[in-house]
Each structure stands twice: as C-alpha cells, then as structure tokens.
Amino acid sequence: MATHQKLLRQSQKLALTYPWVSKPFIVSAPMKIFSGAELAVAVSSHGGLGFIGPTAKPSDLENILENARGLLPSTLSDKNQLPIGVGFQTWDADLDIAVAAIEKFQPCAAWLFAPRNGQEEFNDWIRRIRSVSSPTQIWIQVGTLREAIATVQAPKDVRPDVLVIQGTDAGGHGRADDGLGLTTLLPEISDALGFDSELPLIAAGGIADGRGVASALGLGAVGVAMGTRFLASSEANIKAGYQNEIIRASDGAHSTVRTTLYNELRGTIGWPEGYNPRTIINQSWIEHKAGVDFRTLQQRHDEATKQGDQAWGPDGRLATYAGTCIGLIHEVKSASAILEDSRQQAIDIMKSMAKLYS
C-alpha cells in the first residue's frame, strides 16, 4: 500500500508536468545523433516524451531545436515550452552553448549524463539551466545506487526532478564494471530514496516492448526510457546497415559486449573513468580477441568506413552501439507503433496479472 501511494504521487507529478504523455509513461532516450528532431517530435506527438541526443557538434543544437519546433503539430505548439527533451553528456558538452539553446527554446527536460567531475559538474549545469528556463525539468541518468544517492544528497537547489536508472543491459554508454541489471538496481534505489521520495524513477536498459514496461513498473519505476528499440524506428537518424543489425542480431549475451575498443577505433576518446559502451560484436572485436594488433584493426576499420552499409553486420567493422534487447526487436516500426504497441501490451499484461492474482 505504501509503495502504491508513493508511485501514485510520483506518477501524478509526471502527469502534471508532461500532460500530453499517455500512460504508461514512455520516453525515447537521447542517443547522440541517432535521436534527432524527427524522432523526438514523433515520440512526443504520439503520447510519449522524445529526447534529442547530444549533437555531433554542440553548436548544432540550436538548428536541431529550431527544426523540432517547426515539425511539432499545432496541438503541441505551446510557445512557453518545447514538449521535447534534450540530452547532454556533460563531460564533453559545452555548457554556454547548451544554456543559450535552452534559454531560447525552453525544452521541457534536460537529461544529464556522464560528468567528468561527478555531482559538482552536474551542480553547475543544473544551476545554469534553472536560471534561464523554468519549464526545463532536470533529468539525471545514473547507473549505481551511489550515484543516485549523490543526486538526492546534493544541495536542494540542484536536486533533479527525475532520475533515470540505467541497468547494465542498456545500449550505448553506461557503467563499465559496477553495472547491475534493473531487477536489483531499481528497487534498491527506490528503497534507499524512501517512502517520502517525490522523485519519479524512470527505468532504462533492456526494455523493448510492453513486457519490459510492465516489469519496470513492478520494480518501482513510473515510466521507462527505451533507446535500442527506437534505433529500429522509421524516424531514427541511422544508416540502414546499422539499423539492419538491430533487427538481425539476437542473443545479446553472445552478440553484444561492453568495450571501449570501438571508441578507440573511431577516435572517440576522453570518456570519464568508469564508463564503456555496449555494442554488437563484429569483425573488429573478433580479431581483437584473436590478438590482431590495434594498428591493423584501425586500418581495417578505416577501410570499412568506405563500404557503406556493408561496414556493419557480422562481417563489418564499425561500432554498432546497442543493448541486449536486440533479440526482442524484429522489425523497423514507426515511433507511434512502438509506443502504442508497448503501452497496450503493458496494460494487457497488468490487467491479466491483476485477474490472475486477485
């Protein structure tokens, strides 16, 4: 009963803040360039909350937000607030540029992840964002109990409005060595925050359909963020070769790995300690494990970048960041179909559980 009341309070808070979002609350996660204006707007226009990912260059953000504003249906065009969120990896983002764009467009959420200097870095970001945009709620993505506690023990003016709990199944970057699955991580964080906590928890990592949504709600989340599932959406900004891999691959235990190898091959350096990305395995990883030296791997990788869509796949070599849920994704669907199918399946599951166990 106590848990029920807590979830109800948190859900009501989300519903008041994001009135266009249907239940269960589903978010498309910020994913670098893959989640651009088209995907974020499609998600927010169909009863979800769409996030734009960190852009290739910080200065691209304004144009992308402008584009998003232009794509919004009139029903969602509230001049005081943009009904989409923006994601930042604070370690390599530009705070001044981010704050200028947030001030101009007033997005409904800023999702912060991966600071180089821990909570202190988030504090700077949060104070600056709040000083220019009152509608912009602060979402922080964490991957451990320790990080979650640091956010709620921070000074009151820099506590987040929403906490995203990222389990180790997630695609893209996450905790390298101390990651846990959502089944333990989420309820432990929920318990630690206590019954009085007003902080809504959003589950991320391994959720690709309504079954994942229903189970995350059972664990104490009031919503979910899906990343990998939306890579296989018609609105994702992704090459066909990469997207085909999301559809083709299965058995995430054997077909994905957490490694910084692909970052190194791509020249994406400088990530803070303790993070690495999950990716689908291909020839670069297989040959690395077989002992091929890095320089040779890099030459082969760079050659492969000229091969178009052939550069991904079992014989390919390029980074294919994705989560363990790839085995649950069998086709490219529109963002609206992903949302509608997931919501309906989750509701059906919860209704039949209620019948089964009442």
The contacts of residue 162 (CB under 8 Å, 6+ apart) are 14, 109, 137, 138, 139, 140, 199, 200, 201, 202
Q: Which residues bind ligand FMN (CB under 6 A)?
A: 29-32, 34, 53-54, 87, 89, 111, 113, 141, 166, 169-172, 204-207, 225-229, 231, 321-323, 325
**Token pair of 153 as six digits:** 């023990």
Distance of closest approach, residue 132 Cβ to ligand FMN, in angstroms = 21
Q: Which is nearer to ligand FMN, 10 or 168 (CB)?
A: 168
- The helix (H) or strand (E) run that includes residue 52 is strand 49-52
Q: Which is nearer to ligand FMN, 6 or 340 (CB)?
A: 340
Whole-number Å distance between alpha carbons of 23 and 15: 9
Whole-number Å distance between alpha carbons of 332 and 261: 28
Q: How far is CA 356 from CA 216, 234, 287, 344, in A?
A: 19, 37, 50, 18
List beta partners, residue 276: 174
Distance of closest approach, residue 225 Cβ to ligand FMN, in angstroms = 6
Q: Which is nearer to ligand FMN, 54 or 220 (CB)?
A: 54
Q: Which is nearer to ligand FMN, 10 or 90 (CB)?
A: 90
Q: Which is nearer to ligand FMN, 24 or 205 (CB)?
A: 205
**Token pair of 159 as six digits:** 């506590």
CA atoms within 13 A on the CB side of 206: 20
Distance of closest approach, residue 142 Cβ to ligand FMN, in angstroms = 10
Distance of closest approach, residue 33 Cβ to ligand FMN, in angstroms = 9
Distance of closest approach, residue 53 Cβ to ligand FMN, in angstroms = 5
Distance of closest approach, residue 311 Cβ to ligand FMN, in angstroms = 16
Q: Which is nearer to ligand FMN, 79 or 254 (CB)?
A: 254
Nearest to 207 by CA among 227, 178, 188: 227
Whole-number Å distance between alpha carbons of 239 and 231: 10
Contact 282, 312 (CB under 8 A): yes
DSSP H helix total and E strand total for the chain:
15, 11
Contact 272, 91 (CB under 8 A): yes
Q: Which is nearer to ligand FMN, 39 or 225 (CB)?
A: 225
Whole-number Å distance between alpha carbons of 202 and 162: 7
Contact 136, 102 (CB under 8 A): yes
Q: What is the 3-state secondary structure (H, E, C) of 175-203?
A: ECCCCCCHHHHHHHHHHHHCCCCCCCEEE
Tell me the residue nearest to ligand FMN as measured from the CB. 227
Region for residue 313 given its phi and psi (left: phi exceeds 0; alpha: psi -120 to 50; beta: otherwise): left
Distance of closest approach, residue 165 Cβ to ligand FMN, in angstroms = 9
Distance of closest approach, residue 73 Cβ to ligand FMN, in angstroms = 25
Q: Which is nearer to ligand FMN, 40 or 170 (CB)?
A: 170
Distance of closest approach, residue 79 Cβ to ligand FMN, in angstroms = 28
Q: Which is nearer to ligand FMN, 30 or 83 (CB)?
A: 30
Q: Which is nearer to ligand FMN, 167 or 220 (CB)?
A: 167
